[in-house]
Amino acid sequence: MISVQDWAEIRRLRAAEELSISEISRQVGVTRITVRKALASASPPRYERASTGSAADAFEDAIKEQLAKSPRMRATVIAQRVGWTRGMTVFKVKVAALRPAFLPPDPASRTTYLPGEIAQFDFWFPPISLDVGHGQVRTAKRLPVLTMACGYSRWRGALLVPSRSEQDLYAGWWALLEQLGAVPKVLVWDGESAVGRWRPKEPELTAACHAFRGVLGAKVLICRPGDPEAKGLLERCHDHYEKSFLPGREFTGPGDFNTQLGQFVTDSNSRWMRVLGARPADRIATDTAAMMALPPVPPVTGWSLSLVLPRDHYVRLDSNDYSIHPSVIGRRVQVRADLDRVWAICEGRVVADHPRSWARHQSFTDPAHAAAAHALRRSRFGLPRPDQELAGQVVQVRELSTYDTAFGIDTGQEAIS
């Protein structure tokens, strides 16, 4: 048999050079019969070794008989029943080749998404340790990364949030939708307690989730427990982050983590995806065009407290204490916090503004607040004391017997003046 190179050269000499069979035979160094066979063959020559069969071929009819009785019978059981006494490798290969003919067709379903139809959300916990300041380090269980994947475009988003609490979850959820620039019609979650629980007829959503989706005008779907395929898009994303984003990276803190993760996700959205035959960046415009617009008034997210400021002019939020200007002690203040800041408002005036800390059980004091509190304390020290007001005045000294008479006590002794 000639090589593929000789086969190609024979056909070139005939088609391009228009040489005779004899001349081609001479130049290539093969017989004229070989030249004629090469010209008649439309495909390149390929060596195929004739199958010699296997020892299990003699048991084929007996194997088929057993499979006809029970198509899912194990190969080891079939081997015992047909009297096979040799190694199992060859026998299992034979059984695997014959079994499909006795099984009903089982086509795999392929999930497709329409533009603007759906986006999946979940938490990813990166297996790392992260310094959050004040000598504290968070491990994977306390590093929730809120992730998103759109069904049609496979557009991705990810954001590390301080906690899985309701306040931080919805603040992060809204931040991802703002990055997307639109609202998918269906938002899928995997049974997060702050969002809702799966129920056979319809999901049981929390009040906060109803309020959030009501502002968006979207439907929230909760996946059945133990069904990872329902959110396979995000499962693959999480695997991609762990294998391609984390290795070899170092992070100085939560802010640095989000900066590096944001850049990685942006690059990922611009890379070719075999399943799409395109890049997510090529399909996101079509996807968002079919989605709903962001609401003109954003939903209320984050932390919100209302209290009368006590003399200890600090407010506790997520285990940390933040100072408020002491000039509003005794007045009602509104305390708000998002993923990055903690601030307080009293009568339309901002009376506190702190960066939000990821550490726990810490106190944060604004130097201006400390100076104002010190000045107020000094001004109170300057007020006149009661003994100074009474200086130089004569004060009546009452006899002790007067108190005995007032309380009806008879001591039987002469009153002491």
SS (H, E, C) the chain: CCCHHHHHHHHHHHHCCCCCHHHHHHHHCCCHHHHHHHHHCCCCCCCCCCCCCCHHHHHHHHHHHHHHHCCCCCHHHHHHHHCCCCCHHHHHHHHHHHHHHHCCCCCCCCCCCCCCCEEEEEEECCCCCEEEECCEEECHHHCCEEEEEECCCCCEEEEECCCCCHHHHHHHHHHHHHHHCCECCEEEECCCCCCEECCCCCCEECHHHHHHHHHHCCEEEECCCCCHHHHHHHHHHHHHHHHHHCCCCCCCCHHHHHHHHHHHHHHHCCCCECCCCECHHHHHHHHHHCCECCCCCCCCCCEEEEEECCCCCEEEECCEEEECCHHHCCCEEEEEECCCEEEEEECCEEEEEEECCCCCCCEECCHHHHHHHHHHHHHHHCCCCHHHHCCCCCCCCCCCHHHHHHCCCCCCCCCCC
The pLDDT of residue 107 is: 67
- Tokens 């059984």, residue? 95
d(CA 342, CA 329): 18
d(CA 304, CA 48): 75
| pLDDT tens-digit map of 311-325 | 999 999 999 999 999
The pLDDT of residue 96 is: 94
**Amino acid identity for residue 207 in this structure:** A
d(CA 189, CA 168): 16
Query: Could you tell me which residues are beta bridge partners of residue 323?
Result: 314
Average pLDDT score over the chain: 89
The pLDDT of residue 393 is: 64
- Within 10 angstroms of residue 181's Cβ, the number of other Cβ atoms is 11
410 contacts: CB under 8 Å, gap ≥ 6: 404
The pLDDT of residue 136 is: 95
The pLDDT of residue 108 is: 59
The pLDDT of residue 415 is: 46
The pLDDT of residue 276 is: 87
281 contacts: CB under 8 Å, gap ≥ 6: 155, 269, 270
- Residues of the chain with pLDDT below 50 are 415-417
Of 170, 340, 359, nearest in space to 255 by CA: 340
- Within 10 angstroms of residue 124's Cβ, the number of other Cβ atoms is 19
Radius of gyration of the chain (CA): 40
209 contacts: CB under 8 Å, gap ≥ 6: 194, 195, 196, 220
The pLDDT of residue 338 is: 95
The pLDDT of residue 129 is: 95
How far is it between the farthest Cα atoms of the chain? Answer: 158
Query: Could you tell me which residues are beta bridge partners of residue 138?
Result: 130
First to last CA, the chain: 141
| pLDDT tens-digit map of 85-141 | 999 999 999 999 999 999 887 665 567 889 999 999 999 999 999 999 999 999 999
The pLDDT of residue 411 is: 62
- Cα–Cα distances in angstroms (integers) from residue 356 to residues 110, 320, 348, in the given order: 45, 9, 21
